[in-house]
Amino acid sequence: MQNPQQAVSRTPSIADRNWSQTALTDRLGIRYPLIQAPMAGGPGTPQLVAAVSYAGGLGVLAGSDLQPEALRRAIAEVRALTDRPFAINLAAGGPAKIDPTRIARARELLAPYRSALGLSPDPLVPPELPEFEQQLDVVLESGVAAASFIFGVPDPVYLDLLREAGIATLGTATHLLEAIVLEESGVDFVIAQGAEAGGHRGTFVGHPEQGLVGTLTLVPLLAKHLKVPIVAAGGIMDGRGIAAARLLGAAGVQMGTAFLTTPESGAHPAYKALLQQGSEIATTLSRAFTGRHGRVLRNRLSDELRAHEAELPGFPLQLFLTQDLRQAAAEQGLTDFMPLWAGQGCHLCEDRPAAELIAAWVEQVEELLGMREPPEPTIGAAEWITQGLPPEALEALENPEARESPEDPDARATPESIGFTQQPA
Ligand SMILES: Cc1cc2nc3c(=O)[nH]c(=O)nc-3n(C[C@H](O)[C@H](O)[C@H](O)COP(=O)(O)O)c2cc1C
């Protein structure tokens, strides 16, 4: 049996090296080992991607539901804002089979919500699905720093093309078997997506239930068995999470939920407000919005369709069937019908610009790892304890003699003085 000392000494020593210099920063030419998670469906704006890259992390554009032309435009927008490295994320799994019975059932189930939102009973005719190969062509011609994938493994031929173009590749795994499949197919980095993560589950081998491994377990497990570097994702909300991920053996982190409430995020204001009030038990897994399981804040749609989830079509058909419903919900500010993607750490979300958050997290990591002195307290300990106390309480603390004398019998509390009256027997 391995002794715990050996296990510890095998994790990369971050005390010897600067914590922020890892295989990830070396390969991508970024300052901090911090990736902003791709966030499809609105939150992951080009402004957010550019802000994170500008601040020294790696911004990632979510491209999975974009037609090639829209993807090209989004890339150009990021380029207009920053010349720092950024990445593009695509869905590698391939679209679900078109199943007319499931589509009809989804229409039936969604009809009452459409009517509540003032929409016609029939959803928009699903538009043509974007072709993965065409999206990949855009990535190749764009010459971005990296391409990340979720829902599966891209064909090794594509991985070779990306490698030849100098584009680093990252694949998403939710358990060890998927991580091994990704490594064998030749990706440069594996993103370990823990169960806490907000948004879609990346599970592509087995049922999503089997891919619900917590980040604290998944990261050291993958770091132990894989040769390629690991990026930790799921529940990382600040410098404490980043430091913990590095100590667990990750070469970097990918954070999504923590960026949702930044001013650069395209999340709806009503959704942003709910995130900060949210909690770990307020989240659940639902496939009602897109046809794939993802972690959301519970709302009316996720709760009411829960019992029918198995009857719905797969990704991205269900995504297109809910398209105008989601749009109408956003226009009317009705969070009951919005996909409120959220990780279990959402209660730690802060409404601060992305660059400010990154700078604060970096400081926190460096303090935690003993590389920087903690800031001087702005007030003394005694001052802190007494701050906000009413003047009488302060006087009583400073001058114990002056406290109300219990010797005065009138000052003593009696059952009657506190409103207790004995009932006659
Ligand atoms: C709003 C939102 C949208 C997401 N969309 C994508 C996506 O398009 N592609 C992807 O690979 N991951 C997506 N994810 C998952 C993230 O890549 C990542 O696993 C997750 O955000 C990490 O957990 P955290 O949210 O607790 O930081 C999304 C996450 C959120 C919160």
Profile the chain (425 residues) by mean pLDDT over runs of 10 residues. Answer: 46 65 97 98 97 98 95 98 97 86 94 94 73 95 97 93 97 98 97 98 94 98 98 98 97 98 98 88 94 96 97 92 94 96 96 98 94 64 45 53 45 42 39
User: Measured from the CB, is residue 93 less than 6 Å from ligand 1?
Assistant: no
Quote the pLDDT of residue 425: 33
Q: What is the pLDDT of residue 14?
A: 60
Q: Which residues are within 8 A (CB) of 245 and not within 5 positions of it... i.e. 6 or more apart?
A: 215, 219, 232, 236, 252, 253
Residue 212 CA to ligand 1 centre (angstroms)? 15
- What is the reported pLDDT for 388? 45
User: Per-residue pLDDT tens for 122-135?
Assistant: 766 666 788 999 99
Strand extents, DSSP E, 99-222: 146-150, 168-173, 189-193, 199-200
Q: Is 295 helix (H, G, I), strand (E, B) or coil?
A: strand
Element (H, E) at 277: helix 269-277
Predicted confidence at residue 93, as pLDDT, reads 83
| Both structure tokens of 79 | 């380029």
Q: Is 198 a pocket residue for ligand 1 (Cβ < 6 Å)? A: yes
Determine what percent of the chain falls in helix, strand and coil, rounding each to the nearest 5.
Answer: 45, 10, 45
Distance between CA atoms of residues 211 and 348, nearest Å: 24
pLDDT at 382: 44
Can you give the pLDDT at residue 376?
A: 65
For 66-107, write each residue's pLDDT tens digit. Answer: 999 999 999 999 999 999 999 999 999 887 888 899 999 999
Atom 21 of ligand 1, residue of closest alpha carbon: 256
* From 200, 212, 347, mutation site for ligand 1 pocket: most ligand atoms within 8 A of C-beta: 200
Question: Tell me, what's the pLDDT at 119?
Answer: 94
Q: What type of residue is 361?
A: W
Ligand 1 in reach of 43 Cβ (< 6 A): yes
Domains assigned to the chain: 4-368 (3.20.20.70)
Q: Give the max Cα distance, the chain.
A: 94
**In 94-116, which positions are buried (b, 16+ CB within 10 angstroms) versus exposed (e)?**
eebeeeeebbeebeebbeebbeb
Strands of 34-36's sheet in order across: 34-36, 252-255, 230-233, 189-193, 168-173, 146-150, 86-91, 59-62
Q: What pTM does this model have? A: 0.86
Q: What is the dihedral of CA 402, 403, 409, 411, to 10 degrees?
A: 120
